[in-house]
């Protein structure tokens, strides 16, 4: 070794050593990461979910994954609870204790008198009216569209009337499970922006901190009217990468993760400290057909698609957690029947229908949203199935903002792989979008017969009568007209730490106030 080499080595060695020691020390200083995470305490839960909560304003952020955090803070007039006997969701009181139809166009809600916002201000009818005005007063938004057809007035401090143009509208109590009651005082003093970032609510939890788009911490709201929850602190973080979410769960720095892809389930199942929680969900994937033009305007082709596709193959190809869907309704919805089969898998029948209709050798375009693996899988299976019966399916994909808009506006012919999950267990939302000839998709497809049934449903309150109409809608839409080729129903899959006793709800609520965590 030369003298210069030796000197260079002497100079570099401390540098390298220093960097190494620094890295190790810093790693050691991150003892917070290896020390017991907050979730190991029984009153704190760390939740990592896929979707980001951007805003508590439902006109800005209305998707279910964000809404279920918001609805730990903000409450509606009613809520949905699972009925074990009926195996479906039923409406239950929340901020309203009772409701009745006082005349053909008016529902009267009696508000509870023990509800208060987290700053101690009692909740009154004025807050409900102010919240309604805030929601429908927006320039645009999902909730504005949902509630725009109604009006809300205060009768007294604890009574509000909801008026509808449609007589005997049965959907109102259920729809107001989605509603959010904000503080009129906060709206007046802090403005609408505050309602989107850190709203005061009447729910079991209140916002301790909200780093928009990054993390949200909720703590128990001592003003809540319900039973004090076991879990006092909920730490929400948003991680879009599924493998990172699973790693967080495996490392113990998350107690609950959502949206576990089938390919990663085994990692959770292999860890005895973790469990997979599979819950019913109103998620469905179906093929929509543009019935206003092109080959898919022909009912025979649509029925052939229904016969030709093996839905069990789709379930297997998409991870095995879902179930074959043959109708319009999914698990937990009133019209769902697990034994219902509209079109038995029968490629020969499909071929026969096509031959009789002179459609052998025809082709159509099937579009799906780019980047959605499940949609792509379904499209490929449909393509293969139709090829087997002599029909060519050309698959196209693109950003949702482009292809979905093209399809809903009627500009895109053929079929579309669609994904729909109701944000509350009410049939009217689905019918306001799909199947009717006055819904959002009506430029692409819609049925006057289904529209008539949907109109009748809106004014039907009796549960048995509603169920009969819901069945008729399914029969008309699927069996008679084949407006859809329903493909797949799928549950929600969570990864959870062992010891967490928790029943997530299908609708907009996580329901952590009823959970307990014994680590």
Of residues 375-434, those binding other proteins (CB under 8 A): 399-402, 404-405, 408-409, 429, 432-433
Within residues 431-450, the interface with other proteins by CB under 8 A covers: 432-433, 438-441, 443
Distance in Å, CB of 388 to other proteins, minimum: 33
Angle at 285 between CA 298 and CA 458, to 5 degrees: 80
Closer Cβ to other proteins, 67 or 491, answer by number: 67
> Residue for token digits 């009969």?
468
Give the DSSP H or E segment for 147.
helix 142-147
Q: Tell me the C-alpha to C-alpha distance, in Å, between residue 12 and each of 3, 5, 18, 25, 293.
A: 14, 10, 10, 20, 75
Task: Give the interface size with other proteins as a residue count (CB under 8 A).
Answer: 71
Binding residue for other proteins (CB under 8 A) from 169, 198, 223, 248? Answer: 248
Distance CA 207, CA 186 (A): 14
**CA dihedral over 341, 344, 349, 353, signed as positive or negative:** positive
Distance CA 229, CA 393 (A): 53
- The verdict on 328 binding other proteins (CB under 8 A) reads no
Distance CA 254, CA 268 (A): 12
Distance CA 519, CA 516 (A): 10
Nearest to 49 by CA among 429, 504, 499: 504
Task: For residue 476, give the 3-state DSSP assignment.
Answer: helix
Distance CA 189, CA 194 (A): 9
- The verdict on 237 binding other proteins (CB under 8 A) reads yes
Within residues 131-190, the interface with other proteins by CB under 8 A covers: 139-142, 144-146, 148
Task: For residue 481, give the 3-state DSSP assignment.
Answer: coil
Distance in Å, CB of 356 to other proteins, minimum: 36
- The verdict on 217 binding other proteins (CB under 8 A) reads no
- The verdict on 459 binding other proteins (CB under 8 A) reads no
Stretch that binds other proteins, among 55-63, 297-305, 319-327, 360-368 (CB under 8 A): 55-63
Distance in Å, CB of 51 to other proteins, minimum: 10
Distance in Å, CB of 244 to other proteins, minimum: 5
Binding residue for other proteins (CB under 8 A) from 81, 126, 239, 380? Answer: 239
Closer Cβ to other proteins, 17 or 316, answer by number: 17
Within residues 66-95, the interface with other proteins by CB under 8 A covers: none
Closer Cβ to other proteins, 229 or 426, answer by number: 426
What are the residues whose beta carbons fall under 8 Å from the beta carbon of 346, sequence distance 6 or more? 307
Closer Cβ to other proteins, 251 or 388, answer by number: 251
Distance CA 182, CA 454 (A): 31
Stretch that binds other proteins, among 49-57, 70-78, 372-380, 449-457 (CB under 8 A): 49-57
Inter-axis angle of helices 299-308 and 373-388, to 10 degrees? 100
Stretch that binds other proteins, among 29-37, 73-81, 178-186, 466-474 (CB under 8 A): 29-37
Distance in Å, CB of 441 to other proteins, minimum: 8
- The verdict on 272 binding other proteins (CB under 8 A) reads no
Binding residue for other proteins (CB under 8 A) from 87, 102, 243, 363? Answer: 243
- The verdict on 36 binding other proteins (CB under 8 A) reads no
Residue 492 is given by DSSP the state: E
Closer Cβ to other proteins, 31 or 188, answer by number: 31
Binding residue for other proteins (CB under 8 A) from 39, 47, 49, 52? Answer: 52
93 to 132: interface string for other proteins, x by CB under 8 A: ----------------------------------------
Task: For residue 109, give the 3-state DSSP assignment.
Answer: strand
Stretch that binds other proteins, among 52-60, 296-304, 314-322, 360-368 (CB under 8 A): 52-60
Nearest to 135 by CA among 78, 197, 192, 87: 192
- E strands along 225-362, which residues? 233-238, 256-257, 274-289, 323-324
Closer Cβ to other proteins, 61 or 333, answer by number: 61
> Can you read off the two tokens belonging to residue 97?
């204790």
- The verdict on 213 binding other proteins (CB under 8 A) reads yes
Nearest to 131 by CA among 59, 23, 25, 215: 59
Distance in Å, CB of 32 to other proteins, minimum: 5
Inter-residue contact 469 to 477 (CB < 8 Å): no
Region label for 231, one of left (φ > 0), alpha (ψ between -120 and 50) or beta (otherwise) = beta
- The verdict on 250 binding other proteins (CB under 8 A) reads yes
């Amino acid at each position: 070794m030369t003298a210069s080499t030796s000197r260079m080595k002497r100079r570099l060695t401390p540098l390298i050593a220093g960097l190494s020691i620094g890295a190790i020390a810093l790693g050691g200083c991150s003892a917070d990461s290896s020390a017991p995470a907050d979730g190991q305490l029984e009153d704190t839960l760390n939740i990592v979910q896929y979707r980001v909560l951007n805003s508590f304003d439902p006109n800005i952020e209305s998707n279910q994954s964000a809404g279920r955090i918001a609805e730990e803070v903000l409450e509606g007039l009613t809520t949905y609870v699972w009925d074990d006997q009926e195996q479906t969701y039923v409406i239950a009181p929340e901020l309203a204790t009772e409701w009745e139809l006082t005349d053909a166009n008016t529902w009267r809600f009696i508000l509870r008198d023990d509800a208060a916002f987290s700053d101690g201000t009692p909740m009154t009818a004025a807050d409900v009216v102010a919240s309604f005005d805030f929601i429908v007063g927006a320039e645009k938004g999902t909730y504005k569209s949902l509630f725009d057809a109604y009006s809300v007035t205060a009768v007294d401090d604890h009574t509000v009337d909801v008026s509808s143009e449609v007589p005997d509208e049965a959907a109102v109590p259920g729809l107001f499970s989605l509603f959010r009651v904000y503080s009129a005082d906060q709206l007046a003093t802090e403005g609408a922006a505050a309602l989107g970032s850190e709203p005061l609510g009447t729910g079991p939890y209140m916002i301790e901190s909200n780093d928009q788009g990054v993390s949200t911490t909720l703590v128990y709201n001592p003003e809540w009217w319900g039973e004090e929850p076991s879990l006092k602190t909920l730490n929400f973080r948003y991680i879009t990468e599924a493998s990172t979410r699973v790693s967080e769960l495996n490392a113990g720095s998350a107690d609950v993760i959502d949206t576990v892809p089938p390919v990663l389930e085994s990692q959770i199942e292999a860890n005895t400290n973790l469990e997979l929680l599979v819950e019913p969900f109103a998620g469905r994937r179906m093929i929509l057909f543009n019935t206003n033009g092109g080959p898919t305007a022909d009912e025979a082709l649509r029925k052939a698609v229904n016969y030709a596709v093996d839905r069990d193959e789709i379930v297997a190809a998409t991870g095995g957690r879902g179930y074959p869907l043959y109708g319009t309704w999914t698990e937990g919805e009133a019209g769902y029947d697990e034994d219902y089969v509209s079109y038995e898998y029968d490629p020969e029948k499909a071929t026969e229908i096509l031959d009789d209709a002179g459609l052998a050798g025809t082709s159509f375009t099937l579009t799906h949203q780019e980047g959605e693996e499940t949609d792509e899988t379904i499209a490929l299976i449909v393509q293969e199935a139709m090829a087997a019966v002599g029909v060519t399916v050309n698959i196209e994909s693109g950003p949702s903002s482009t292809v979905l808009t093209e399809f809903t506006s009627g500009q895109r012919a053929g079929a579309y792989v669609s994904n729909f999950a109701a944000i509350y267990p009410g049939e009217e939302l689905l019918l306001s979008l799909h199947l009717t000839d006055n819904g959002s998709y009506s430029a692409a497809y819609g049925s006057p017969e289904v529209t008539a049934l949907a109109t009748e449903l809106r004014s039907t309150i009796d549960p048995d009568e509603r169920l009969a109409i819901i069945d008729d809608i399914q029969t008309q839409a699927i069996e008679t007209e084949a407006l859809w080729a329903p493909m797949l129903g799928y549950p929600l899959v969570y990864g959870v730490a062992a010891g967490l006793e928790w029943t997530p709800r299908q609708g907009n609520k996580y329901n952590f106030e009823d959970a307990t965590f014994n680590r």
